[in-house]
Structure 1
Amino acid sequence: MNILASAEGPDATVSVIELREKGERVLIIDGFVTTSERGVSGSSSLLVQYMLWMGHLPMLLHPDPKEALVICFGTGQTANALRRENPKSLTIVDINPNVFKMAHYFTSNENVLKDPRVRNLVMDGRAFMRRTEKTFDVITLEPMPPTFAGVNALYSKEFYQLARERMSDNGIIAQWLPFHQVSAYHGASVSRTFTEVFPNAVLWIDPESLTGILLGSKNDRGTLGSEFPGFKRNDLKRILPEETVRKAVYLEKEGLKRYGEQYGDVITDDNQLLAYGAAAFNTHVNPVTLLLSNYDTMKIFRKGFYEDKGSLEIEQLELIKKESERKE
């Protein structure tokens, strides 16, 4: 292991390490492995894959996205995915200046910060949205896992209400939901809070990493996820097959709403549910066990035209769990 860079910021210590035996570079924030340039195995881009989805999916759901916003930069791969969809401008906000300074260590972001359409700001994401008068066609955010200290502020009802105010009429928002790092209660609570503000929403699952992405529209009409108008744009080389995108929609808006209401509570700034609420997060729980718990809770709400289109089955996760236990 080789430490390439390390620096203390206003809210966290950021480091970049290189795992020589895997040919892999990793971004670490306060000891937590946030993102990798090649993925956890060194050969399969599991961590990279969902970051691409985080950028491409909301852009594909919007008919003509011009203005985009990324909250939390990481290694810049989500921001670069948004840029590939050719917006007129892209604003990137992160509270820690060191993630921008270390972006050059990750070549997969393709120097996104040097694009003249890109504006990067060192600021708290929520504070930025309170202050700006600009509206955005797409907002995507990928903060630290929900149960980390301080992150409740980017998963609360008040935050989503603020985000909605900063979205254009047909605006789309994407929220990262890592099921391997939250309890079933917390997963349902994040989903319930999201749908309280964005009733026209879907849950999309990355078929490789099994990471969840909540997608919501400011336009409450129609059914989000039934169409992906971005695929009709012919000016871009598509890296995501349309059929793969459609298959990975896991819960449509009615199922997502019922799932959240039955198993979760609304997260607010006052109750700090993700930090202090019921079913506190246990860091010693096997991530595969958390995945199984979340999907076992969600599967009964899978209805409608999504029912036969997904590739995720609990049986598959059970096999993953058995393999994980065998290795232990």
Structure 2
Amino acid sequence: MIATAAEHRGAARSARRRRTLREAAVFVALAVPNVALIAWFTYRPLVLNVYYSTLDWTLGSATARAVGLDNYTQFFSSGEAGHVFLTTAWFTVSTVALSMGLGLLVALGLNRRIRGAGLAQATVFSPFVLSGVGVGLAWQYIFDPTVGALGAVIRAFGGTSPQWFNDETLSLVMVVLVYVWKNLGYAAVIYLAGLQAIPADILEAAAVDGAGPRRKFFSVTLPLLSPTTFFLLVTSTLSSLQAFDLIRAMTPLGRGTTTLIYDAYLRAFGGYNQAGYSAMISTVLFVLLVVLTLVQLVVVERRVHYR
């Protein structure tokens, strides 16, 4: 009897061991190819880009000269860095703030039981899934001061169309407006999901306690939306810092719209052919993305109220 019980325990252990080995084999079979692809196509280019940033390398040349940190020194000691960082900050802050603020207002409007709410949601979200190049080319025609639709409307009222493409400030404003229009639906849909996840009994309890619509929004709804706001802040910031296609389509020369990522493109492919210098700017952008994300995760998340 004792020997039989021991045999059963041994058999059970062997079965568990075999099951564990099978599960480990399945995990390795499924995970290793994906990890290998990510390592080869994501982390390998990242490491190579950091290496290329230490080279004086003309795009297309078979040789390159190691210069250490000279590219970084040249970038940060010139006036170019301040202008590029200022343009990047202005673009990012403006697009994130406007997209999230207007997205919340649109979500509040859509969070009502009205006829055609589904169609309205689809209409608001549809620009987000459109091609950035297609959107940029369409709006480039609209903003054209000579043949554009916006210029025609302004002239119909006796005005003169602004020179959107020649004025650096107006060029940046133009790109910001189009970027916000394209990404507004994303913020609106995410905020709408957050609003619909708020328990109705909490809002009813606030109303019973005498809270008016304004007090209920700022004291109940907005705090409960803080996880949604935090998520949108992180994703929208990363997206804005990497915005490229819209800027490229609307302002090919980068006049007034030279953000970090677009400056990296211009340095490599815009006539400079400075592949090493372009890699350096890309590395700076990567470090900036990591730092901003860590700051948001460590500092901003403390103010998030998870229910």
Relative to the length of structure 1, the TM-score reads 0.21
Whichever of the two has the greater Rg, that structure is: 2
| Greater fraction strand | 1
| Greater fraction helix | 2
- State the structure with bigger RCO (CA 8 A, min sep 6), 1 or 2: 2
Relative to the length of structure 2, the TM-score reads 0.22
